[in-house]
Amino acid sequence: MTDLICVGALSGSYGVRGEVRLKSFCAIPEEIEDYSPLTSEDGKTTYTITITRAVKGGFAARLSNIETKEDADALKGLRLFTQRDRMPNLPDDEFYHADLIGLKVFDTGGAPLGTIKTVQNHGAGDLLEIQPLHGSATVLMPFTLAAVPTVDLDQGRIIADPPEGLF
């Protein structure tokens, strides 16, 4: 497990005075401000965040040391992280995406299927992007109790019962 958890991302500038468009990955989106200061993925740069208003698809926010539209535009795509120990403990049936990425995937008979590459959510629930053992095309599998009855973080694996014909 990683010590950093991604809690948001920047999608460019908002206006001309150095504000950024901030997308929050927190269960309660406004709570991203509570984790400030946030860091870049490499941990070398720290940003203090102040939300200024809600906008379509997220928030407009001010970041420390970002004063111009050009500065804000240069940060487009930046993912923002906080330390794991600052995050709340989750119930047994919930997981941080960072903990799922890299887990090995096995079917209910114990046969290896692949490795979780990413966790995606396009609005209808989480999807696990799995890199199969054979072939280059990834597979998207719903992250539901029916399709993934067991997540074993200690063993670094999930047991999957994928829909027929997925693999």
Are 101 and 153 in a shared domain? yes
Indicate the burial class of 10 (C-beta count within 10 angstroms; 0-12, 13-18, 19 or more): buried
In a domain? residue 103: yes
Specify the long-range contacts of residues 82-88, CB closer than 8 Å, at least 24 apart.
82/4, 82/5, 82/7, 82/35, 82/38, 82/39, 83/3, 83/4, 83/5, 84/1, 84/2, 84/3, 84/4, 84/5, 85/3, 86/35, 87/5, 87/35
Look at residue 1 and tell me whether its pLDDT is greater than 60.
Answer: no
Token couple for 35: 């984790």
pLDDT in tens, 29-72: 999 999 989 999 888 999 999 999 999 989 999 999 899 999 99
The partner residues of 6 in beta bridges, in order of sequence, read 81
More reliable by pLDDT, 42 or 21: 21
**Does residue 150 lie within any of the structural domains?**
yes
What CATH number corresponds to the domain at position 13? 2.40.30.60
Instruction: State pTM to two decimals.
Output: 0.72
Q: What is the pLDDT averaged over residues 17-32?
A: 92
Range of the domain at 145: 97-160
Total domain count for the chain? 2
